[in-house]
Amino acid sequence: MTSKPGEAHRRATLRSTFTPRLLRPLWAGCLAVALLGPAPSDASTEFHDTWDFRNQDGQQIVVGTQSGTRAILGTTDAAEPSDPSWEQSPVADSSGETPTVLAFDGDDDVVTLPDLAGLDLSSGFALETWLWQSERTPFGRIIDKRGLQFYVNEDGTPQAYVRNTTREGGPNGDGIIYARSRDSVSLSKWTHVGLTYDVNSSGARLSIFIDGQEVDYIRQDSFGADDNLELDGTASEAQLGNNVAGNRGLAGLVAYVGLNTSPDGSSEWNTSLFPVKSEPPPATEIHDTWDFRNQDGQQIVVGTQSGTRAILGRTDAAEPSDPTWEQSPVADSSGETPTVLAFDGDDDVVTLPDLAGLDLSPGFAYEMWINQQDQTAFARILEKGGFRFYINGDGTLQAYVRNTTGEGGPNGDGVIHVRSANGLAL
How far apart CA 296 and CA 311 sit, in angstroms, is 13
Most confident of 46-55, 276-285, 308-317, 341-350: 46-55
Residue 285 inside a domain? The answer is no
Q: What pLDDT is attached to residue 13?
A: 37
Task: Judge whether residue 18 has pLDDT over 60.
Answer: no
Residue 127 inside a domain? The answer is yes
Same-domain status, 231 and 320? no
pLDDT band of residue 9 (cuts 50, 70, 90) is very low
Q: What pLDDT is attached to residue 406?
A: 67
Q: What pLDDT is attached to residue 199?
A: 82
Same-domain status, 199 and 263? yes
Residue 282 inside a domain? The answer is no
Weakest mean pLDDT among 75-79, 98-102, 111-115: 75-79
How far apart CA 309 and CA 354 sit, in angstroms, is 6
The secondary structure of residue 141, as a DSSP letter, is E
How far apart CA 9 and CA 413 sit, in angstroms, is 9
Which residues are bridge partners to 133 per DSSP?
187, 252
Residue 281 inside a domain? The answer is no
Q: What pLDDT is attached to residue 96?
A: 93
Q: What pLDDT is attached to residue 419?
A: 84
Q: What pLDDT is attached to residue 41?
A: 39
Same-domain status, 121 and 170? yes
Does residue 40 or residue 47 have the better pLDDT? 47
Residue 277 inside a domain? The answer is no
Predicted confidence (pLDDT) per residue in 56-86, tens digit: 999 999 999 999 999 999 999 999 999 999 9
pTM of the complete model = 0.59
Same-domain status, 165 and 264? yes
Task: Judge whether residue 29 has pLDDT over 60.
Answer: no
- How much is the average pLDDT of 408-419? 78
Same-domain status, 130 and 105? yes
Same-domain status, 3 and 81? no
> How would you classify residue 359: left for phi > 0, otherwise alpha for psi between -120 and 50, otherwise beta?
beta
CATH number at residue 102: 2.60.120.200
Does residue 38 or residue 426 have the better pLDDT? 426
Q: What pLDDT is attached to residue 158?
A: 96
Q: What does pLDDT average to over the chain?
A: 81
Task: Judge whether residue 21 has pLDDT over 60.
Answer: no
Q: What pLDDT is attached to residue 25?
A: 36
Strands (E), 273-395: 300-302, 309-312, 324-327, 339-342, 350-351, 378-384, 387-392
The secondary structure of residue 166, as a DSSP letter, is S
Residue 13 CA from chain centroid, whole number: 30
Residue 39 inside a domain? The answer is yes
Strands (E), 100-169: 100-105, 110-113, 124-133, 139-144, 148-153, 158-163
Same-domain status, 60 and 186? yes
Predicted confidence (pLDDT) per residue in 366-398, tens digit: 898 888 888 877 788 888 877 888 788 888 888
Residue 323 inside a domain? The answer is yes
Q: What pLDDT is attached to residue 134?
A: 92
C-beta of residue 210 within 8 angstroms of C-beta of residue 193: yes
Same-domain status, 138 and 154? yes
Residue 425 inside a domain? The answer is yes
Q: What pLDDT is attached to residue 10?
A: 33
Same-domain status, 24 and 116? no
Same-domain status, 92 and 221? yes
Predicted confidence (pLDDT) per residue in 309-357, tens digit: 899 988 777 888 889 999 999 999 999 999 999 988 888 889 988 887 7
Residue ranges making up the domain that contains 164: 31-268
Same-domain status, 211 and 300? no
Task: Judge whether residue 11 has pLDDT over 80.
Answer: no
Q: What pLDDT is attached to residue 249?
A: 82
Number of domains in the chain: 2
Domain termination site, one of 253, 268, 283: 268
Q: What pLDDT is attached to residue 221?
A: 58
Does residue 334 or residue 244 have the better pLDDT? 334
Task: Provide the percentage of residues in the chain whose pLDDT is more than 70.
Answer: 82
Q: What is the DSSP string of 360-380?
A: -TT-------B---S--TEEE
Same-domain status, 296 and 245? no
List Cβ neighbours of 363 (8 Å cut-off, separation of 6 or more): none
Weakest mean pLDDT among 22-26, 86-90, 286-290: 22-26
Task: Provide the percentage of residues in the chain whose pLDDT is more than 90.
Answer: 39
- How much is the average pLDDT of 217-244? 69
